[in-house]
């Protein structure tokens, strides 16, 4: 489904990703772990199409479509969703208005009719219930005055409403206490399905106690230096990144 080959990208001429290869199939959950500055967030943002990053080589395809050729909105319309590390506050725009605009843009791009107000409301109410959120989140301005936990939950809520096929979670666990972390993880788990894939970018292993990955990749200095199963995350937790840094340094 998602194929990343020899991806190289940077910002203002400074290389950050130095040849990433990653293959993700439908229904799989891949964790991408790495120390600060390793390029994890860059990878997530390049998949979503953030223009601050310049792609200098390699390819990303989603269901054989060239993602790098697409605008961010076209990627979203094709099924990509990134949960932001720092969700953006947009005062003056209600969550409901925002989600309806997003959902309709996606439907229009896929040749479907715009959703009518009643069906939209029952669609979002269902998701609110599924994720155990409170209704007042709907009428509030997008992320305005939300706590850290609320912002992250709102990302998962948007994901639930837009029903993407590829979900990229950019350090969704950062800044969350254990209760908020569990709520967010429960939301993600509720959205797991055989048709949907996840790329979970995180610094810490603790999120992976709740979102159990099928694969774990370790990113260091812009390259994937080790891949394995969920046990790799535990090993990393025990030994720290220093262990891999030494091993990695030894290889070069």
Partner 1 sequence: MANELLPRYDVELSTLLAHGESLVGSGPDWLRALRQKGIDTHREFGVPTPKNEEWKYTPLRPLTTLDLKSSEPGPAVFGIDLQWNEGADKVLVVNGRLDRNQLEVTKSDGLTIKSLRDAINENGDLVKKHLGLIAKQESHTFAALNTAIFEDGVFLHLAKGATIERPIEIVHVTNGDGQCVAPRVLIVAEEGAIAKIVETYLTDGEGTNLVLPVTEVYAATGTNVEHVRVQDESESTYSAALWAIKQEGGSEYRSYNVAFGGAIARTDQEFWLGGEHIVTRLDGVVVASGKQHIDNHTRLDHAKPNCNSFEVYKQIVDDEGTVVFNGKIFVYKDAQKTDAVQNNAALLLSPKATIDSKPQLEIFADDVKCTHGATVGRLEDTPLFYLRSRGISKEQAEGILVYAFAAEVLELITMDSVRDRLEARLFEKLSV
Helix %, strand %, coil % of the chain (to 5): 40, 30, 30
Is residue 46 within 8 A of residue 82, CB to CB? The reply is no
Quote the CA–CA distance of 168 and 24 in Å, as a whole number: 12
Quote the CA–CA distance of 12 and 175 in Å, as a whole number: 28
Considering beta carbons, is residue 98 or 210 the nearer one to partner 1? 98
Considering beta carbons, is residue 105 or 138 the nearer one to partner 1? 105
Residue numbers at the binding site for partner 1 (CB under 8 A): 48-52, 71-73, 75-77, 81-82, 84, 87-88, 90-93, 98-99, 101-103, 105-106, 109, 141, 158, 162
Closest separation in Å from C-beta 152 to partner 1: 14
| Residue 160 DSSP class | H
Quote the CA–CA distance of 37 and 73 in Å, as a whole number: 27
Closest separation in Å from C-beta 187 to partner 1: 17
Considering beta carbons, is residue 164 or 213 the nearer one to partner 1? 164
Closest separation in Å from C-beta 49 to partner 1: 7
Tokens of 111: 């040749």
Closest separation in Å from C-beta 243 to partner 1: 35
Considering beta carbons, is residue 72 or 148 the nearer one to partner 1? 72
């Amino acid at each position: 489904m998602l194929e990343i080959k020899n991806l190289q990208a940077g910002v203002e001429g400074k290389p950050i990703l130095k040849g990433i290869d990653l293959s993700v199939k439908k229904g799989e959950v891949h964790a991408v772990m790495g120390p600060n500055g390793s390029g994890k967030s860059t990878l997530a943002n390049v998949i979503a199409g953030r223009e601050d990053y310049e792609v200098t080589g390699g390819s990303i395809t989603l269901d054989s479509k060239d993602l790098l050729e697409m605008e961010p909105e076209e990627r979203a319309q094709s099924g990509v969703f990134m949960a932001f590390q720092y969700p953006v506050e947009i005062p003056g725009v209600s969550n409901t208005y925002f989600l309806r605009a997003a959902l309709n843009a996606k439907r229009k791009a896929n040749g479907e009719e715009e959703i009518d107000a009643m069906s939209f409301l029952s669609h979002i109410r269902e998701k609110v219930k599924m994720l155990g959120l409170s209704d007042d989140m709907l009428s509030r301005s997008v992320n305005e005055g939300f706590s850290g936990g609320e912002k992250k939950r709102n990302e998962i809520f948007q994901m639930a409403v837009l029903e993407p096929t590829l979900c990229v979670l950019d350090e969704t666990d950062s800044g969350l206490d254990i209760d908020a972390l569990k709520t967010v993880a429960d939301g993600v788990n509720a959205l797991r399905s055989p048709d949907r894939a996840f790329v979970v970018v995180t610094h810490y292993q603790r999120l992976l106690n709740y979102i159990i990955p099928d694969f774990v990749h370790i990113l260091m200095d812009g390259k994937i230096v080790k891949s394995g199963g969920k046990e790799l995350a535990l090993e990393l937790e025990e030994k720290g990144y220093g262990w891999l840094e030494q091993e990695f340094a030894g290889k070069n």
